[in-house]
Amino acid sequence: MLIGLPGTGKTTIAREIARFLGYAYIDQNEIRRQQGMKKMPQTQEETLRKIDRIVANNLSKRNGILVDSVHRYMFRRQQLYGIAAGAGVKALVIECLCSPDEAKKRMSQRPKSDGLISDPNNPKVYDKLSQLWEDVMQNDFKYPGSDHVSYMAFNTETKEIQKKFMLNENQFFMDNISNILLNIIPEIK
């Protein structure tokens, strides 16, 4: 699962990792666009359940999958952890980070919206979402049910990786992901 605020490089990284590993890729904004959404609804149950079904279907077949979204709330991350646990697989959370100034600069360079929900190009969205952000280390590992989850942070601006919470059995996989992040993914602009 790729998480992080807008402009931090999530989508670029998710697409590259999925391509390199042959994983399925889910872009939550793309699903919203396919549903014809023009603005963020009060509830996203239909979208989230569709994503849950896609994730569960892929994991039950032992197919790797990357879910790309801000995932600012712990409860949503916990829902996806639960799907992975139900399928008997380990989960890896990669949080993409960069400075607020860099994220806002990247956002302002995005193309204008076509009227449907798309990646925000208004840097004010970054400020709004950063106020709602629920920190992974402070929240996600304090309750039972995340014992199959590893977590790393990748600063897309400095190319620094921090393995913050790692299951021993995920060491090889996290090292492989680190190699992809540092050596294969192009510079994010």
pLDDT of residue 117: 65
Instruction: Kindly indicate the confidence band of residue 21, based on its pLDDT and cuts at 50, 70 and 90.
Output: very high
pLDDT of residue 120: 72
Is 63 in contact with 26 (CB distance < 8 Å)? no
**132: exposed, middle or buried (C-beta count within 10 Å: 0-12, 13-18, 19+)?**
exposed
Sequence-distant (≥ 6) Cβ neighbours of residue 8 within 8 angstroms: 96, 97, 98, 103, 156
Give me the percent of the chain exceeding a pLDDT of 90.
50
pLDDT of residue 104: 95
**pTM of the shown model:** 0.89
User: Among 2-16, 33-47, 172-186, where is mean pLDDT lowest?
Assistant: 33-47
pLDDT of residue 189: 66
pLDDT of residue 118: 57
**Mean pLDDT computed over every residue of the chain:** 87
Determine if residue 7 is left, alpha or beta; phi over 0 gives left, psi from -120 to 50 gives alpha, anything else beta: left
Instruction: Kindly indicate the confidence band of residue 17, based on its pLDDT and cuts at 50, 70 and 90.
Output: very high
pLDDT of residue 115: 64
Q: What is the three-class DSSP state of 177? A: helix
Cβ-based neighbour number of residue 22 at 10 Å: 8
